[in-house]
Amino acid sequence: MAGTGRATPVGNASPPQGVELAVVGRPPDNEAALIARAQRGDAVAYGSLVRAHQDIAFRVACLAGGSAADAEEAAQEGFVKAWRALPRFRAGSPFRPWLLAIVANEARNRRRAAGRRAGLALRAAEQAARSAGGAGASPETLVLAGARRETLLAALAALDERDRAVLTCRYLLELSEEETAAALGCRRGTVKSRTSRALERLRAREGVEEVGTP
């Protein structure tokens, strides 16, 4: 599966084909209907769900698991496991936090098995910052944005891993508190308190501008 960007056949229907790591901005408007169809074994419907969430799933896997190659494998395996678990998904529940929890758990398991821990949140932050570059912006704007990004990443690098992880989820990946909790494997209240403390430490760093709440 490594590096191919393809899912492995599972379940009683063929899984979605051609899972590419393209940027997709938000869930489809008819997500509930797609989930219902996928729960009945419709692999085409599940493929639509995969395409809607694959980018954020990859970033969460990168945060939890390390390198881009490892993150891609973890995200793909997470999608396969989510496909298998869909019959147990409760209708009406938020889909993205449920999916991200599966992907993050897969990435964490792979990281623990391989013993890789150093610099995980910073790598995800750098990946998110690069992908958030201003398409169509002027060269001057891009230079200024790049300088601020470097300042922010340097400040993040000086924080401990838990602070980096929660701020990366909330501000660079723009996850909700619920989604951050799923990605980090903690409670929503823990995310809120960690975010508050991490922001205080980040703001105390020289040259970092005020950061608001997303």
What pLDDT, in 10s, does the model give residues 73-121?
889 999 999 999 999 999 889 999 999 999 998 988 877 765 444 455 5
Over the range 97-129, which residues count as b (16 or more CB within 10 Å of their CB) and which as e?
Answer: bbbbbbbbbbbbebbeeeeeeeebbbbbbbbbb
Q: What is the structure's pLDDT at 43?
A: 93
What pLDDT, in 10s, does the model give residues 7-22?
433 443 444 443 333 3
What pLDDT, in 10s, does the model give residues 25-78?
455 558 999 999 999 999 999 999 999 999 999 989 888 766 778 888 889 999
Q: What is the structure's pLDDT at 7?
A: 43
pLDDT, average across residues 159-163: 83
Computed over its alpha carbons, how large is the radius of gyration of the chain? 18
Q: Which residue has 């990859």 as its token pair?
A: 58
Name the phi and psi angles at 66, rounded to 5.
Answer: 110, -120
Domains and CATH numbers, the chain: 31-114 (1.10.1740.10), 120-203 (1.10.10.10)
Six token digits for residue 158? 């000086």
Query: Whole-prediction pTM value?
Result: 0.56
